[in-house]
Structures are given as C-alpha cells and as structure tokens.
Structure 1
Amino acid sequence: MQFSHSDAIWQAFPELAAGALYADGIDASADVEEAIVSFSAIAVARLAEAQESEFPEIQAWRRGFSRMGLKPTQYRSASEALLRRFRQERALPRLHPLVDLCNAVSLAFAIPIAVFDVEKIAGDLEVRHATGHETYLTFGGDIEHPEPNEVIFADGGGSAHARRWTNRQSGLSAVRQTTRSVLIVAEALHASAEADIARLMATLADQLGKAWPAAAKVALLSAGSPRFEF
C-alpha cells in the first residue's frame, strides 16, 4: 500500500510538511496513561501563555483553510478542535490507547494527527481534491459526498477517509478495539513545520515502541519525496 499527497496539493501548499507512520500489532490493552499525562502537561503550559488560536501551528492551518475557501472558525483543523476542547474541559474523552496517545501528542505539538485502520482502506490512500463522487461515512452512520474540489483523504475504492483535509475523519477507518494495523499521518503548514514534524514522528515512533511490540515504519514526506510505501 502507498500513502501520498497529489501533485496539486504540493503545488497549492508548498510549505506543507508531512510525516507518515505504519505500525502492526496494535491492541487495546496497552497502558499509555503516563505518556498522556506528560503530553497533556505540555499543552496546559502552552495554553497558560496563549489561547490555541494564537499558536503559529493553528494560525497556519487557519490560513490554509481560508485558501481552500473555508471559514476557519467554522471548520477547524483537528488539532485546533482538540486544543479548544481541552482548554475548556481540561480533559479529552478516552477512546482507545492509540487514539488517546495520538490525541495527547497532537495537543503537545498543536499539529493534527490522523489515525487510520489500514484494514478499512481499499488500495492506496491519497490526499487530493475530491471529484464529488466519493463516499464518506460519518461516525453516526450517515453517508455524505464531499464537495467537488474539497481536499480529502481518498482511497482506491472511492471512499473519503477524511473531509476538509484535517477537519474531520471518517467513521469507516476509525480505530476500534479490533484494530491491529494502523497508518498515522501528521501534517503542518507553519514556518518550522519540517523540524516539528520530524520531532513529532520520532516522538510517536518512540511511544509506540514502548506501548506495542511491533517496530514502526516512519517516513517524512515532501514534494521531492511524496510517497510512503507500507
């Protein structure tokens, strides 16, 4: 299988930095509580200095959403939505050890992280502009069709695994108790995105290695090296 961004995405967002990670042997029994507390504390410290809307990582995604023709306060990147909820409630709901860990890392780095159940992806996965014919399964079980030209995560079977780029993932490939193999993607647009994505992916690989036995395969993506095979 392969993960990539289309040439059109790289052309429209040359500042994009992205990382991808594949891991097998995932189960729902891992204890990641210590890591969650540690990463959450980083977010608490940052939020004590400024609201998430002032973070350069979040501001860059807001500009990106505006360039996609979206109102950034109506459609927020996943990292902004997490930080906003965390600031208001001082906690996030627990869903699955891997999802909880990735959410905590996302809070600490203020960078959106997507986690996909690989067994639910048909063929390759590409971040590209929608044709309008793809199908998107909501967490409530409804079927939607992304708008033409909307940025989505699309697989070879015509399923959209995320809408509005980093705004909302699909229920189709969400991590569940039965999930065993995952693809994790992190993307950023801010000035220090390349260095920060590299740190984030190294952090994730380290944390996954502590919680699950399988070694993770990691790649940093760029316009010159846009594909991750796993």
Structure 2
Amino acid sequence: MFFEHSNAIWTAHPDLAATALYADGITAHADDVITDAITRFSAVAETRLASSSEGELPEIRAWRRTFSQMGLKPTQYRCASEALLRRFKKEGALPRIHPLIDLCNALSLAYAIPIAVFDASAITDHLRVRHATGDEEYLTFSGDVEHPYPDEVIFADGAGRAHARRWTNRQSGYSAVRETTTSALIVAEAMHETARADVENLAGDLEAELVAAWSVTPEAATLSAGSPRLTVLAPAPADASTSAHPDTR
C-alpha cells in the first residue's frame, strides 16, 4: 500500500507540508498509557486558546484560505483541527473514542493541524489525495452512500472509495478506527508558514507516543512534491460489511 498526494494537488497547493505514518500493532487497550499525553497536549491547546481564538491561529487561517480557494465557505466547512478546537473550547475536553484517536485528537489540538487516522485494513491498494471524478463512493457514519462533487479534493483508494471528503473536513465511516483495528495510516497536513517544521515535530511527538503506548515504531515519511509517497506493507482490505464505525475526524 502507498499514500501520496497527486501532482495536481502539489501544483495547486505549493505551501502544503505533510507527514504520513503507518503503525502496525495497535490495540484498543492503551487508555492508561496515553492519558498523560492527552493531558499534556490538551494543556498546550488551552494555553494557545487563552490568548487567541482558534480562527486567529496561523494554522487555521491557512486552511481557511485553502478552503476558500477550493470554493468552500470556510465557516461552513471547517478543517478537522478547527472543529476539534471549537469543541474543546466549548466543552473543556474531547470525548474518548479509541486510544489512538484520542492521542491524535490531542496532538491535533496542540498543533492546530488536521490529523487523519485510517484503519489500514479498509484501504485498497493505495490512498491518494486527489481531485474527485464524482464517481467515487463515500460512506457516511450513518450508513448513507454519497458521491463527492467532481474536482472536490478527497482521499481515494484503489477501489474508488472516498475515505475523506473536502480534503481535511470529514473522514468516512468506512475506514474509521475501531476496537478491532490493528494497523493504522496517520496523515497530518498543514499550509501555514512554518508548516514543514511543525508537521515534522508533530510526527516526532506521535512516534514517541506510539512507542510508549504500543511499543510500535511506525514507518514514516515527510512528504513533498519531490518525494510524495510513503510505501508500506499493509494488511489486505477488510470486508465492507465490517467497516462502518464511529467518527474520528
């Protein structure tokens, strides 16, 4: 399996910085281990939000500009990290879903960078961030099937499934992490001025926490137009009948 952004995405968005990690050996039983990490990363977000709103953060401003460039109203369709920050500011904490999701959500809060987490067993052949043809199928968390609009930026696999719509806005229920997940593909993307350094630091923090919680050293890559692909040995795709699970993004 491989992950990459299409050439058209790199051309249209030269400020993009991204990192991808593949982790095998994940379980749903690491809550106690990651609690400290969640507390630490949430505290970073709390400090940042004490001096400015989420919409004023450079990471969020950059994604709002990107959404506007794609023809989307940025206050209607928010990037995942902005949505998390808004919920965190309102409720003071995020709901616990799965240890890996909880960890990535906390990192997303701290860095204000969208992080997508996919059950790798639900991905066929590859996952590519590209423009949609309109024929792809997207499974909602309520079980409905949608088709992305032509030219919408999606995460698409080799079977024509859209695993995320509107780029960093919403993941699909088809590949969401669940209790039986053992392997995950994790992607962080940013557009702001210090994006490359920040996604590299985020990846370093994530790798350290994966080692601490699951004794897993992920395969990882910082992606660019000149080096756009992470290739890994991943499990065979899961049967579609077992792949609808709770929201992560």
In 2, Cα distance between the equivalents of 1:53 and 1:29? 34
Pairing 1:190–2:164 present: no
Of residues 114, 118, 125 in structure 1, which corresponds to 2:116? 114
- Deviation for aligned residue 1:215: 1.3
- TM-score normalized by the length of structure 1: 0.99
Alignment partner, residue 81 of structure 2: 79
Give me the whole-angstrom Cα distance separating, in 2, the residues matched to 1:81 and 1:119. 27
Q: CA offsets, 1:23-72, max 9 Å, x none?
A: 00000001311110010000000000000000000000000000000000
Q: Secondary structure at the match of 2:116?
A: strand
Runs of 4+ in 1 over 4 A off after TM superposition: none
What is the distance in 2 between the residues matched to 1:25 and 1:61? 32
Residue of structure 1 equivalent to 2:243: none
Return 5+ residue gaps in structure 2 as ranges.
233-249
Structure 1 match to 2:223? 221
Residue 44 (structure 1) aligned with residue 40 (structure 2): no
Counterparts in 2 of 1:170-209, with a 5 A limit?
170-209=172-211
Cα distance in 1 for residues equivalent to 2:115 and 2:84: 11
- How many angstroms apart in 2 are the aligned matches of 1:11 and 1:214? 34
Match of 1:124 among 123, 126, 129: 126
AA paired with 2:28? A
Q: TM-score, normalised by structure 2?
A: 0.92
Find the aligned partners of 2:168 and 2:94 in 1 and give their Cα distance. Answer: 18
Q: In structure 2, what is the equivalent of residue 26 of structure 1?
A: 26
Counterpart position of 1:35: 37
Aligned to 1:16: 16
Note the C-alpha offset of 1:213.
1.8
Tell me how far 1:114 sits from its aligned partner: 0.2
Aligned residues: 230
Residue 3 of structure 2 corresponds to residue 3 of structure 1:
yes
Residue type at the aligned position of 1:14 = P
Name the SS of the counterpart of 1:149 in structure 2.
coil
The residue number in structure 2 matching 1:92 is 94
**2:168 is equivalent to residue 166 of structure 1:** yes
Secondary structure at 1:190's aligned position in 2?
Answer: coil
What one-letter code is carried by the residue in structure 2 that aligns with 1:61? W
Q: Structure 1: where are the runs of 5+ without partners?
A: none
Find the residue that maps to 2:150 and give its secondary structure: coil
Q: Could you report, residue by residue, the CA deviation over 1:50-108 in whole angstroms, capped at 9, with x for unpaired residues?
A: 00000000000000000000000000000000000100111111100000000000000
